[in-house]
Chain A
Amino acid sequence: MNCEDVERNLDAYVDRELDAGADTAVRDHLAGCADCRRKVDERQALGRLVRSAPYYPAPEGLRARVSAATSRRAWGRHLVGWAAAAVLVLSVGGGFALWRSAAARGDAMVDAVVGSHVRSLMADHLFDVESTDQHTVKPWFLGKLDFSPPVVDLAPIGFPLVGGRLDYLGGQPVAALVYARRKHTINVFVSPERDEAFRGIDTRSVRGFHVHHWTRDGMSFWAVSDVNDAELTEFVHALQTS
């Protein structure tokens, strides 16, 4: 390659877009040509300069509006889904359809649990009340919910309570308790048991998240996290026996 050839390929070379043969040819030329080398240096320096230009992250308000806009649509689709399920029950009738719709409700609930977990991490709205003290977190829910979620700290076994917030699952308000495990977050959603369809659900894994469900004293619990399932099982067992 001569200087002219190199010049034509200068940007592709800097951007590592040349195939191996051309890349080597340019490199060979550069080894003996200070002029072309200077042009390469200049472009690389320019790249660093451009990367120092401001990065504009999405404003918080926008994030919230987009979430709201897309979940409104999602809710619309949900209704269509429920309507379809209702039609199915009416037209087919019998136990099979009822069983199916219960299973579908369970699936939808698991999805909602995972979605809520992901949203809580993405929207940077993990807590309404940030505290490692169960005696601060539990009273915080007073007056905000018509039930009182059991709150225990599991710091002694490596799952510290870090806070709580109000959340919604399936259109119902729930208490969300937030626990930490190293850098991971565990959300536990607590509400009075309303749908026996979920009783059959024990553990599920959805898109890399593990979900555990259990009921106790008329309350329904959903634990969700990306920690490995063995650890989440240990966590759930500790909550169940506390």
Chain B
Amino acid sequence: MPPRVFEETVLPHLDAAFNYARWLTKNEAEAEDVVQDACVRAMRFFSSLRDDNARAWLFTIVRNTWYSRVSRRATAAEATLEDTARDERPDDAPDPEARLLQQHDVARVRAALEELPVDFREVLVLREIEGLSYKEIAAVVRVPIGTVMSRIARARERLLAALKPSARMETLP
């Protein structure tokens, strides 16, 4: 596979790869290391890129790279998803967007998103920020589409609960 094709296919997605890695790791320096390793891997495995979706393919490699680093350091505890789905129903809200937007600046949203377990955080980032379809997310995260759907649903419930002006709010920085 000629190297120039790699440069033109993969490098345009470097920002997206870094954004994803940054949200996974919550750490600038680590995200840089992950993306750099991932790009070297991507170069090596470039011939395994079958379809046109280089961005989702790169996300998969970024994710694998990060997981192998995390498990090597045996800090996977942070990365595992403890299954404690809350069923906090939203209370009455005449204009939910206005209310949410009034009370939450960007820093708060970021903090709330970072507080989510990584399995929830990443599906929201891939869906809302990167605009991937459920099918693409399923391929990146390597779970069935049904699991993607339920993770997204629960991630949103948690985030809503965290951002609501309720008792849980005070726990946010």
Q: A70-B43, A119-B7 are in contact. Are A49 and B101 (CB under 8 A)?
A: yes
CB distance from A109 to the nearest CB of B (A): 12
Q: A46-B156, A50-B109, A50-B159 are in contact. Are A122 and B11 (CB under 8 A)?
A: yes
Which chain A positions have C-beta within 8 A of B15?
Answer: 55, 57-58
Determine whether the beta carbon of B97 is less than 8 Å from that of A41. yes
Interface of B, helix, strand, loop or mixed by DSSP = helix
User: Which of B48-56, B68-76, B77-85, B121-129 forms part of the interface with chain A?
Assistant: B121-129
Determine whether the beta carbon of A69 is less than 8 Å from that of B35. no
User: Which of A7-15, A90-98, A181-189, A220-228 forms part of the interface with chain B?
Assistant: A7-15
Interchain pairs with CB closer than 8 A, number: 135
Which chain A positions have C-beta within 8 A of B127?
Answer: 15
Which chain A positions have C-beta within 8 A of B165?
Answer: none
Which chain B positions have C-beta within 8 A of A70?
Answer: 3, 6-7, 11, 39-40, 43
* Total interface residues in chain B, CB < 8 Å: 48
CB distance from A229 to the nearest CB of B (A): 20
Give a binary string over A40-57; 1 marks a CB under 8 Å from any B CB, 0 the rest: 011111111111111111
User: What are 29 A-B interface contacts by the 8 Å CB criterion?
Assistant: A11-B153, A11-B156, A12-B134, A39-B90, A42-B97, A45-B96, A46-B159, A47-B128, A49-B163, A52-B109, A56-B23, A57-B19, A58-B18, A62-B35, A62-B36, A63-B11, A65-B36, A66-B11, A67-B11, A69-B39, A70-B3, A70-B11, A71-B3, A74-B3, A74-B7, A78-B3, A111-B2, A111-B4, A122-B11
Question: Which residues of B are interface residues toward A (Cβ below 8 A)?
Answer: 2-4, 6-8, 11-12, 14-15, 17-19, 22-23, 28, 31-32, 35-36, 39-40, 43, 90, 93, 96-97, 100-101, 104, 106, 109-110, 113, 124-125, 127-129, 133-134, 149, 152-153, 156, 159-160, 163
Question: Which residues of A are interface residues toward B (Cβ below 8 A)?
Answer: 10-12, 15, 17, 38-39, 41-59, 61-63, 65-67, 69-71, 73-74, 77-78, 111-112, 114-115, 118-119, 122, 207
